[in-house]
Amino acid sequence: MMAAGSGSSLFDDITAHSGGGVKFVQENAVLAAVNETLASQQLGPSPVAYMGVLMMSLEAAPAQSPAAGAILTLLERTLAAVPPALLASKGARMGQIVVGVSNANVDTPAVLRPALLCVRRLLLALPPRAPDAAKLWRWLLAFTAHSHPKVRQRGQAACAEVQPVLHLLHFLHTAARHLAAADTATLAASVLALPKLGHPLLSRSAVALLKAAAEGDGDGRALPPPVLAAVIDSLLHTACGELFAAAGPTSLPGCESLLTGMRDLYDDQRLGEARGSLMASLGLAARAVGPRAFVERLPIKVSTSDGGEDSSWLLSVLRGHVARATLDFFAAYFVPLQAWLLERAAALGADGRTVEQKNLHNLHEQVWALLPGFCASADDVASSFPALAKTLGTVLNERPELRPPYAKNFLPLLFNLHQAEPAEKREPICEAIGAYAHAAPPALLSDFFRDVLRKLLETAAAGSAADSLEQQGSLLDLLLALAPALSPTEHAPLLWRAVRPLLSHNSPLLQKKAYKALGTLAEHHPSFLTERLADVTAAFDEALPTCHTACKRRRLVCLQALVSRLSAEQLRSAMPAMLGEVVLATKESNVKSRAAAFDALLLVAERAEAAGGPSDAGREEALQGVVVAVCAGLAGKTPHMEVVRAAVVLVKVQLSALPREAVQPLLPRLVPPLLGWCSNKHAHLKYQVRYLMERLVKRFGLEVMTEVTPEEHQRLLTHMRKQKERARRHTDARLAAKAEREAAEAADLDGGGARSRHAEYEALLEDGDQEEEEGGHGHGRGAAAGGLRETFADQSESAASVDLLTAPLAGAAERKRKRRREPDGKIRVAGGGGTPVGAAEEDEMEVDPEDEIVRLGKVAKRKQTGSRKQRGAGKGRATFGANFGDQYAGRKGAKGDVTKPGALQPHAYLPLNPRMLGRKNKRASAETAARLVAGGRRNKGGGKKRG
C-alpha cells in the first residue's frame, strides 16, 4: 500500500492528461480545485487530506452535479491509500454519502462505475459483522443485474468476494435438514431476501436452500405451514413474477413451462392464501408477454357443467395487466367469446339455471372490462376501432349495466388525452367525455368534477402567464363537457362561482369559455338560472364594459337565455339597456355575432309582445315601444368607437409635444391598454396603434418598450425590429449597387481595369479591329471561331462594308477613342473616315447603358427614335438593340424601301446580345426574331432587300 505521505502521486495517470485532450477533463478540473483548497488550508497532499476534501465536496455538491463522477473517481484512488483503520471508523458515514449520490444518478454510468469501486473498498475495510456492511453489500449486489453493461460488469467485479456467501449457502443447504423448526423459519425469512436482488446464482442457491428446509429430515423438522405459505408467496412474487417482468417478451418460449406450471398450481388446494400471489405473478407475466401470447399458451375455457375444464379465472388475471396489445386481437378473440357467453347465458336462463346464467353474465362483463386496457396500449386504434365500434355501441345500448364501468375506466383516459392534445383536436374528446359523463355513476362524476374544479382554482391562483391561461382554458373545457350531467343543486352553483369572475377577465379565451359555461348551465339546468337570476343578471351587467369583441356571440346567446326567463316587469325595466347592447351588436364585423344579435332582437320582441297582455292593442303598443327603441339605437355608435379613436389622436399629439422625461414614466400604464386595440378585430384602430408603437420605439428605444410591452404583444416588437432591419439591408444593398455602377462607369470612361458586361464580345472585336488595321480579314480569332466576324457588303456602287458585329457593339478601345462626355452630361461621338455616319461634321449618337448598343440619332430626341408605329409595337417589350429598318420604309401605300443620300443602304440586323439567351427573355427573343423575319418577307416583293 502507498505511504500516507505520497498522496501527490495518486493521480499520475490523471494529471498526465492535464495539458489537453478529452480524457480526464473534469477530473483534472476537480483535482486543481482540491489542490487549491489544500493550499489555502496549509495542508499537505496526503491521502487523508484528499479524502477529507473530496468527501466534503461530494456531500456539498448538488444531487445530480456534473462533477459527481469526477469526484468519485478521485475518491476511489484516494481510498486505496487511506489506512484501513480510518476507513473502518469512517466507512459507514462515507458509504451513506456515496450511496446517496449514486441513487440520485442511477441512470448515469459515469457516476455509478467509480461509486461501485468506492463501496467495494469500504466493504473490504469494514468489520464482517458491521450492520452497515450488510446494507452496503445488498446495495452493491443489486448492480450485478444492472441494465447498463459497463455498470453491470463493474458491479459483478466488485462482488468477486461473493464466493464466501455462496459457500455459506451451500453449507446451510446441507445443515437445514437438521435445524429445529423455529431456526429453520428464521433462516427461511433471511434467505427470502436474496432472490429479490435479481442475481441468478444467488437466487438459484437460495431456492435450493429453501427447498431443503421445506423437506426436512422426515422426523418433523420441516417448515411449519405458515412459514411455508410465506415462502411460496415470496417466491411467487420475486422468482416468478419478477422474472417475467425483467425478461419481457423474450421470456417466451424459454419460460413457457413455468407459465403452464403456474396455471396448474392454481387448482392445488394446498396453495391457500398464496393463490393471490400466484395470480399477481401471472398478471406480471401477462403484462410482460402481451395478451396474445398469454392466451395462446393459456386458453380461456368456460365450463357450465360439472367436471369440465374451466380457466375463466384467467380473465381476472388479465384485467389490469393488459400491455403490448392490439385491438385487432381483441376483436378476433374476445368479441366472439362475449357473443358466445351471451348466447349461452340466454340458453341457461331458458332452462331455469339462473345461477349459471348470472355467472356467465359476470364473465361477459369481465371480457368487456378488458377493452380499456387494450385501447390504452394498442397501436392500431385508428385502423381497428371502426370495425369494433358497432359491436361496442350495440352492447352498451343493450346492456346498460356495462356503462358505469366503462365511464370509470375511460373518463381518466379521456381526461389525460384531452390535456395532451392541441386545442384544435379537443372537441371530439369533449364530446366523448360528455357522453361518458351521462353514463357515469353520480359519485364518480362528482369526484371527477371536484378534482378538475380544484385544479382550475389552483391554476388560476398560480398566475396569469400564457401557459397558465392555456391550462385554465383546457380545464374549463373539461368542466363544460361534464356540465350537462352535473347536479343542478350540488355542482352547478360551484361551477357558476368558479366562472363568474372570468366574465370580466382580460383574456378573451377565458371570457369566451366563461360565457359558454353560463350558456350551458342555462340550457341544461334551467332551475339553477331561475333561482339565481338576480345574481346572474348583476354579473352580466358588470361584465358588459369589459366584454371582448370575440366574446360577443357567446354573451348574446346567454342574453337570450336571460330574456326567456325574465318576468314581464323585469323585462320592461331591463329592455332599454338590453336593446341598446343588442342593436349595437348588429353592427359587429363578425357574421355569427350579428346573427346572434338579430336572434336576440327577435326574442326580445316576442317576449315584449307576450308581456303586452291578451289584447291586440296591448301587444301592438309593446311592439311599437320595441321598434321605437330600436330606431333610436340604429343611429348610435359604441362608446369605444369614438372615445378610443380620440384617445389615440391625443396620444399622438402629446407624444410630439411633451418632453421625453415626462412621457417615459407613463409608458407602463399607456402601452398595455393601447395594444389591446392593435388587432384585426379593430381594423379602424390597428394601424394607428402600430404607428404609435413605431414612434414610441423610435423615441424611447427597443429595450424600454420591451419592458413595458405585455408578453403576448412582444411579437409585434420583434416584427417591427425585423422590418426595420430588412429595410436597412435593402437600402444598404441599393446604395452599394449604385456606388458600384458609378465606379464602373467612371473606370470605363477613364480606361480603368473594370470591363463592361460584354467584355468577352468586346475583347473578340478588339482582336478583329487590330487585324483589319493590319489589312487582313478572317485570320484572327473571329475567323477561327467559325465566321463570327463575317462581313456583309452591299453590291451597289455606293456600297460600304457593314460589320454586323462591329456596328452595334463597338469595341472598348474604339469607343474610348471616338466618344467623349460633354459638360451637359451627353455623350458625343466624333465622325470621321470609316464611320457609318453620313455627314462629315460631328453628329450625336445615343448609347444604351444596358447593352451598350450605339444607335444613330439625336440625343435630344432619344425617346422619339423610330416611327410612331415602331414605338407603339415595341412598347413594353425588349428588342435587344435590333434595327428593323423601319427608317427606310416608304410612305403609306408604297412598297419597298427608300434610299437616302449619304446614308447606308437599307438594312436590318439583330446584334448578338447575351440577354437573348436568358430564360426570362425567351419569349421576347422569339418575338424580336419573328418581327425581323416578317419585315424581310414583307419587303421581299419590291424595293431593296434588307440584309
φ, ψ of residue 3 to 5 degrees: the values are -65, 155
Is it the case that residue 453 has pLDDT exceeding 80?
yes
Q: One-letter amino acid identity for 669?
A: R
User: Could you identify the residue written with the cell 413594353?
Assistant: 876
Decide: 554 and 512 in contact? Cβ < 8 Å: yes
Is the per-residue pLDDT at 506 higher than 70?
Answer: yes
Instruction: Report the C-alpha gap between 281 and 82 in whole angstroms.
Output: 47
Q: pLDDT at position 270, please?
A: 67
Across the strands, what pairs with 883? 909
What 3-state DSSP class applies to 676?
A: coil
Per-range mean pLDDT, top range of 24-28, 704-708, 907-911: 704-708
Closest Cα partner for 211 from 219, 221, 222, 202? 222
Half-sphere exposure of 795 (CA within 13 A, CB side): 4
pLDDT category, 514, cuts 50, 70, 90? very high
Residue 251's alpha-carbon distances to 144, 203, 245, 400, in angstroms, are 20, 17, 9, 40
Terminus-to-terminus CA distance in the chain, angstroms? 108
Band the pLDDT of 224: cuts 50, 70, 90: low
Condensed to tens digits (0 to 9), the pLDDT of residues 833-871 reads 444 434 333 344 444 443 343 343 333 334 444 444 444
pLDDT of residue 862: 41
The arithmetic mean of pLDDT across residues 466-472, rounded, is: 81
Give me the pLDDT at residue 759, please.
54
> What is the phi/psi pair of residue 883, to 5°?
-110, 110
pTM recorded for the entire structure: 0.38
Q: What is the pLDDT of residue 340?
A: 92
Identify any residues that bridge with 909 across adjacent strands, giving them in sequence order: 883
Q: How many percent of the chain have pLDDT more than 90?
A: 6
φ and ψ at residue 810, rounded to 5 degrees: -70, 140
Domain 567-738 fold is 1.25.40
Average pLDDT over residues 450-462: 87
Report d(CA 724, CA 730) in Å as an integer: 10
Q: What is the pLDDT of residues 369-423, one digit of tens each?
A: 888 888 878 888 778 877 787 787 777 677 776 666 666 667 777 788 788 888 8
Question: What mean pLDDT, rounded, does the chain reach?
Answer: 75
pLDDT at 69: 85
What's the pLDDT score for residue 160? 59
Say if residues 470 and 463 touch (Cβ distance below 8 Å): no
Per-residue pLDDT band at 516 (split at 50, 70, 90):
very high
The C-alpha cell of 93 is what? 458515514
Q: How many residues would you count in the chain? A: 947
Q: H or E segment at 820?
A: strand 819-821
Tell me the per-residue pLDDT of 582-624, one tens digit each, with 9 for 90 and over. Answer: 887 887 888 888 889 888 888 888 888 888 778 888 888 888 7
The C-alpha atoms of residue 103 and residue 87 are separated, in whole angstroms, by 22
> Among candidates 888, 870, 765, which has minimal Cα distance to 815?
765
Residues 645-701: pLDDT tens digits? Answer: 777 777 887 787 788 888 888 888 888 888 877 776 666 678 888 888 888 888 888
The kind and range of the H/E element at 26 are helix 25-40
pLDDT beyond 50 at 754: no
Angle CA(457)–CA(460)–CA(465) in degrees, nearest 5? 160
Q: Are 79 and 122 in contact (CB under 8 A)?
A: yes
Does residue 815 have a pLDDT over 50?
A: no
How far, in Å, CA of 121 to CA of 76, rounded?
8
